[in-house]
């Protein structure tokens, strides 16, 4: 093996920089999108949110919590939006704070579709979904989106992407995972449409590709990532053939030259059984995808390093670990002990369990 090969292998770990888009990430450690329900009652990010993101700016890339693209896109209280001027101004303070610390930040564009509650939707209207099929639990019965309404929702994504650029984000991640609107179009448990948005894979993927097209035209493909979760059953999701469906979806992503594909490689909340069908390991999608691949779910320093060294991933995102360890990057670097995540303060509340996790003492 030549010296050059040895050197490049030695460089390939969690701490090696990576070029995505027209800028370089300083390492491969990504903060995964995390719903925290701590924006204000008008869905505007707060100073507390700003500090939270700034504390985590040593990640190579931060992906924000899902930010709804419209009032209808919300499914939980106090999640931030990215559809009005107050939200843009508040996010601008956050992107400035992260950039000041040398970090990079993408915003996740979110529409929950049918995963919404009475009291969350404007005028208590039914939530919107590809088909009028309710998710299990206390959700409202959704109303099937009319064909003529689809372009309006695509326009909401476009506006949100414009707002994201105005707010100073380095890019956007289109949330097409975890049983929310775009995923509801992709998988056949929730999409039984008889028009050209339902039926075969091409039809079910149409909405995702339209959204990506609109967002790419706004931001440029190098500033757009997408998140998929092929076997995640969270939010009552399943598909009759996830391997064929998601292989098709990923093939369609190849020509788009996105910043990255972000893959949730299993089941996110363990109260449900993952839809693995024994035969389909979503990690095999890495073989199909030709661009930057970001792995997510349950990684630690060792498994993430192994994934990067064996080229199973270009980037790895960490969720729970970033909740409790704002300085996760430094802790990984030093092999320092990790704080434990307090699940009671995960969703909603105040500073506690949000911006008060201890940092390592600074040693210069
Ligand atoms: C959650 O709040 O549990 C949640 C939100 C968005 C996701 C996944 C999980 O994509």
- Ligand 1 centroid vs 362 CA: distance in angstroms? 33
Residue nearest to atom 2 of ligand 1 (CA): 35
- Ligand 1 centroid vs 269 CA: distance in angstroms? 9
- pTM of the predicted model, to two decimals? 0.96
Backbone angles phi, psi at 145, to 5 degrees: -65, 130
Closest residue by Cα to residue 259 from 312, 203, 297, 215: 215
Please report whether residue 355 resides in a domain: no
The pLDDT assigned to 1 comes to 42
- Ligand 1 centroid vs 235 CA: distance in angstroms? 9
Please report whether residue 237 resides in a domain: yes
The pLDDT assigned to 12 comes to 73
Give the number of C-alpha atoms closer than 13 A to the C-alpha of residue 205, restricted to the C-beta side. Answer: 16
> Which residues surround ligand 1 with Cβ inside 6 Å?
35, 66, 177-178, 268
105: DSSP letter: E
**Rounded mean pLDDT, 127-142:** 94
Residue nearest to atom 6 of ligand 1 (CA): 35
pLDDT tens-digit map of 42-55: 999 999 999 999 99
Q: Are 90 and 54 in contact (CB under 8 A)?
A: no
CATH number at residue 38: 3.20.20.70
Determine the atom of ligand 1 nearest the C-alpha atom of 76: 2
Residues 6 or more apart whose Cβ sits within 8 Å of residue 303: none
Which three-class secondary structure state does DSSP give residue 301?
Answer: helix
35: Cα separation from own chain's centroid? 10
Please report whether residue 353 resides in a domain: no
Q: Provide the number of structural domains found in the chain.
A: 1
Separation of alpha carbons 131 and 4, rounded Å: 55
Test site for ligand 1: of 66, 271, 319, most ligand atoms within 8 A of the Cβ? 66
Residue nearest to atom 7 of ligand 1 (CA): 178
Please report whether residue 364 resides in a domain: no
Please report whether residue 354 resides in a domain: no
Separation of alpha carbons 21 and 19, rounded Å: 7
- Ligand 1 centroid vs 361 CA: distance in angstroms? 32
The pLDDT assigned to 274 comes to 61
Test site for ligand 1: of 77, 79, 268, 320, most ligand atoms within 8 A of the Cβ? 268
List the beta bridge partners of residue 157.
none
Active site residues: 180
Share of the chain above pLDDT 90, in %: 90
Determine the atom of ligand 1 nearest the C-alpha atom of 179: 10
- Ligand 1 centroid vs 12 CA: distance in angstroms? 31
Separation of alpha carbons 296 and 243, rounded Å: 18
The pLDDT assigned to 240 comes to 96
Go through 178-201 and write b for each residue having 16 or more CB atoms within 10 A of its CB, e for each that does not: bbbbbbbbbbbbbbebeeebbeeb
The pLDDT assigned to 4 comes to 46
Please report whether residue 219 resides in a domain: yes
Please report whether residue 274 resides in a domain: yes
pLDDT tens-digit map of 98-130: 999 999 999 999 999 999 987 899 999 999 999
SS (H, E, C) 20-86: ECCEEECCCEEECCCCCCCCCCCCCCCHHHHHHHHHCCCCCEEEEEEEECCHHHCCCCCCCECCCHH
CA angle 213, 154, 247 (to 5 degrees): 50
Phi-psi bin for 183: left (phi > 0), alpha (psi -120 to 50), beta? alpha
Residues 6 or more apart whose Cβ sits within 8 Å of residue 71: 43, 81, 83, 121, 122
Residue nearest to atom 3 of ligand 1 (CA): 35
Please report whether residue 362 resides in a domain: no
Domain range for residue 150? 3-345
Q: From start to end of the chain, where are the E strands?
A: 18-20, 23-25, 29-31, 61-68, 105-110, 128-129, 143-144, 171-175, 224-228, 260-264, 293-296, 315-318
- Ligand 1 centroid vs 65 CA: distance in angstroms? 9
Test site for ligand 1: of 37, 39, 177, 178, most ligand atoms within 8 A of the Cβ? 178
The pLDDT assigned to 14 comes to 97
Residue nearest to atom 10 of ligand 1 (CA): 178
**Rounded mean pLDDT, 7-15:** 68
> Residue 21 — very low, low, confident or very high, per pLDDT cuts 50/70/90?
confident
């Amino acid at each position: 093996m030549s010296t050059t090969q040895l050197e490049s292998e030695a460089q390939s770990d969690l701490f090696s920089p990576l070029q995505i888009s027209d800028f370089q990430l300083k390492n491969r450690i990504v903060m995964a999108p995390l719903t925290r329900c701590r924006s204000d009652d008008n869905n505007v990010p707060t100073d507390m949110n700003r500090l939270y993101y700034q504390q985590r700016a040593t990640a190579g890339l931060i992906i924000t919590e899902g930010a709804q693209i419209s009032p209808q896109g919300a499914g939980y209280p106090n999640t931030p939006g990215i559809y009005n001027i107050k939200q843009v101004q508040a996010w601008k303070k956050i992107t400035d704070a992260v950039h000041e610390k040398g970090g990079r930040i993408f915003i996740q564009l979110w529409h929950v579709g049918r995963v919404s509650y009475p009291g969350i939707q404007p005028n208590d209207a039914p939530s919107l979904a590809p088909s009028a099929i309710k998710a299990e639990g206390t959700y409202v019965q959704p109303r099937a989106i009319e064909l003529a309404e689809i372009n309006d929702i695509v326009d909401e994504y476009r506006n949100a992407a414009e707002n994201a650029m105005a707010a100073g984000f380095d890019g956007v991640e289109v949330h097409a995972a975890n049983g929310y609107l775009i995923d509801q179009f992709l998988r056949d448990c929730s999409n039984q449409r008889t028009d050209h948005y339902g039926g075969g894979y091409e039809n079910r993927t149409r909405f995702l590709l339209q959204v990506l097209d609109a967002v790419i035209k706004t931001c440029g493909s190098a500033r757009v990532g997408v998140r998929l979760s092929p076997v995640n059953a969270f939010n009552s999701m399943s598909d009759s053939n996830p391997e064929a469906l998601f292989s098709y979806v990923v093939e369609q992503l190849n020509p788009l030259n996105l910043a990255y594909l972000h893959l949730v490689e299993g089941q996110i909340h363990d109260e449900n059984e993952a839809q693995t069908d024994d035969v389909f390991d979503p990690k095999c999608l890495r073989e199909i995808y030709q661009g930057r691949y970001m792995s997510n779910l349950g990684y630690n320093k060792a498994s993430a390093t192994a994934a990067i060294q064996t080229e199973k991933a270009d980037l790895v995102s960490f969720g729970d670990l970033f909740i409790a360890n704002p300085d996760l990057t430094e802790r990984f670097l030093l092999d320092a002990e990790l704080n434990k995540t307090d699940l009671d303060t995960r969703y909603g509340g105040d500073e506690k369990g949000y911006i008060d996790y201890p940092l390592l003492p600074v040693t210069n």
